[in-house]
Chains A and B, each alone.
Chain A
């Protein structure tokens, strides 16, 4: 459709975006890689120099590191589980005829648009606070003692907050996919004698498979980098109970000034993300072929 003249101009128009992203990706990443092989402490530069893979080894031997990886994966898996199951159920519910569906939708999607610091603080102070939070009030009113969420269940608390934020996303995506299911197919299935449960298993779920894949992949990308919620509530504690990889790396870099270790951690985070991205790109690429 294009002629020679449009083609060369097209290349020029693409250049700024590609160039900017290339620089943004390549330069800092290269620096991080370089730093990961260095001992570098801006506060204490005496021992700076090339140290090979020892930063990576230090990282691996550090219990904080192992905890952070475990917590990262726990957060991702738990939030995925909650949002997928909850999302499917909610989507199924919202797909039914009801009164005031528009408002219900608005209420349900709202948590996604709340900025993470606000979401975390609201949950920390209003809902989960051991003394003044709503849950404590509820528990006390039935004679139970209040729970110190962030003290006793730090990771779970983070998971709850993040799941609350992402449930709307999963619901919205799944609901959109659900509503694209051809009504005639459902009717044909009914005429073939399938009840609601059968229709769900054999018709709805396969149709949703693609949307579920997308939700899993997109959410995983973002869930791997949960940060503000931790910063604002538990600060990674108690100990390392609620520290994930991004939080640990940021802490090493900005608080402890162990740049070498932090960089090694950053590279590991990249590797982790790449594994996920590989599968994500395959799914998205199939869509671009259309």
Chain B
């Protein structure tokens, strides 16, 4: 249950081709994250899987069955929308019960399932309230509850945490991951936030302008990006990418080294420069160094570092962690 296959899926809106042709396999029980910048097609891809949009060509199979022409309801998928899309005129109970009512389940079975879901999600005290009377996090849970009771083959999440404030987002991230471990159902999660992708995914699909740049586990993408785009997208702060003369000795058109893989010292090192803006986060310090030959490089230093603005500093990259890219932007291994 929950195995999804996309074969040469192509989506065009009129003359604009948004997704040029994608092959993708999602295995049963996986937590897959579609991540990429705005407009990369990740939401479109999700909606194609959900059945809310028609494919222009290509097939979508769920558990071996071709569902390409089927209505959303028949695909046994559940979706959690970015704005939660709760029914404002129904109580929480009726919201969660709605899909079961549409499936013509008997009322006592419905009540049981709603109560179960409410218990799992801590909503039991809010069952008679309306969405308008709930906080953002509670509404989020109602949306999830509505999805859970359907016992779908897979859950689809469309940027569910974007509307929450930072603290709440952290909590909900944990809750959703916990949910995944509990239910063991396939989950497809769309986000533009690479932190969410890294922390929650079994498998990340990085999308750019409708194309899949790379598919892999978070660590694979972190340690072995296939191209410059993925290298620059994954990891925060961004990987430093340096082209030109500095890259030539490495036999590459561009080299990349992450801020956390550079050593900084006031006395000696490979690249010299002047320290610019220094961002103190407490746990770490990020220093933007204007190097003499390599442009502006971001370095991670310990929280207690004494390096200040305008200090003369030296940077040393960790040789084993330097990424090399050819002139087409692809990784050289």
Residues of A bordering B, CB below 8 Å = 1, 3-5
Min Cβ gap A21→B in Å is 29
Would you call A5 and B52 a contact (CB within 8 A)? no
Closest CB pairs A-B (n = 5): A3-B54, A4-B54, A5-B71, A3-B53, A3-B52
Instruction: Report the Cα distance A1→B13, complex, angstroms.
Output: 11
**A3, closest chain B residue (CB):** B54
Instruction: Report the Cα distance A146→B76, complex, angstroms.
Output: 83
**A7, closest chain B residue (CB):** B54
**What 7 additional pairs, Cβ within 8 angstroms, besides A3-B71, A4-B54?**
A1-B52, A1-B53, A3-B51, A3-B52, A3-B53, A3-B54, A5-B71
In chain B, positions 30-77 with a C-beta closer than 8 Å to chain A are 51-54, 71
**B72, closest chain A residue (CB):** A3
> Which of A3, A4, A5 has the largest count of B CB atoms less than 10 A from its CB?
A3
**Residues of B contacting A5 in the complex (Cβ-Cβ under 8 angstroms):** 71
**Residues of B contacting A3 in the complex (Cβ-Cβ under 8 angstroms):** 51-54, 71
Residues of B bordering A, CB below 8 Å = 51-54, 71
Q: How many contacting A-B pairs (Cβ < 8 A)? A: 9
Instruction: Report the Cα distance A47→B52, complex, angstroms.
Output: 66
**B53, closest chain A residue (CB):** A3
Instruction: Report the Cα distance A54→B51, complex, angstroms.
Output: 64
Min Cβ gap B56→A in Å is 12
7 example contacts (A-B, Cβ-Cβ < 8 A) are as follows A1-B52, A1-B53, A3-B51, A3-B52, A3-B53, A3-B71, A5-B71
Instruction: Report the Cα distance A1→B51, complex, angstroms.
Output: 10
**Residues of A contacting B71 in the complex (Cβ-Cβ under 8 angstroms):** 3, 5
Min Cβ gap B66→A in Å is 16
Min Cβ gap B100→A in Å is 23
**Residues of B contacting A1 in the complex (Cβ-Cβ under 8 angstroms):** 52-53
Instruction: Report the Cα distance A157→B159, complex, angstroms.
Output: 65
**Residues of A contacting B52 in the complex (Cβ-Cβ under 8 angstroms):** 1, 3
Min Cβ gap B259→A in Å is 42
Instruction: Report the Cα distance A1→B81, complex, angstroms.
Output: 14
**A5, closest chain B residue (CB):** B71
**Residues of A contacting B51 in the complex (Cβ-Cβ under 8 angstroms):** 3
Min Cβ gap A120→B in Å is 45
**Residues of A contacting B54 in the complex (Cβ-Cβ under 8 angstroms):** 3-4
**Residues of A contacting B53 in the complex (Cβ-Cβ under 8 angstroms):** 1, 3
**Residues of B contacting A4 in the complex (Cβ-Cβ under 8 angstroms):** 54
**B51, closest chain A residue (CB):** A3
Min Cβ gap B77→A in Å is 15
**A4, closest chain B residue (CB):** B54
Min Cβ gap A1→B in Å is 7
Min Cβ gap A230→B in Å is 49
Min Cβ gap A118→B in Å is 40
Instruction: Report the Cα distance A3→B223, complex, angstroms.
Output: 41
Instruction: Report the Cα distance A1→B54, complex, angstroms.
Output: 9
Min Cβ gap B251→A in Å is 50
Instruction: Report the Cα distance A289→B143, complex, angstroms.
Output: 33
Instruction: Report the Cα distance A1→B52, complex, angstroms.
Output: 7
Min Cβ gap A194→B in Å is 40
Instruction: Report the Cα distance A4→B53, complex, angstroms.
Output: 9
Instruction: Report the Cα distance A1→B71, complex, angstroms.
Output: 13
Instruction: Report the Cα distance A36→B194, complex, angstroms.
Output: 73
Instruction: Report the Cα distance A206→B52, complex, angstroms.
Output: 44
**B54, closest chain A residue (CB):** A3
Instruction: Report the Cα distance A138→B52, complex, angstroms.
Output: 72
Instruction: Report the Cα distance A4→B51, complex, angstroms.
Output: 11
Min Cβ gap B191→A in Å is 21
Instruction: Report the Cα distance A3→B67, complex, angstroms.
Output: 14
Min Cβ gap A71→B in Å is 52
Min Cβ gap A9→B in Å is 12
Instruction: Report the Cα distance A3→B53, complex, angstroms.
Output: 6
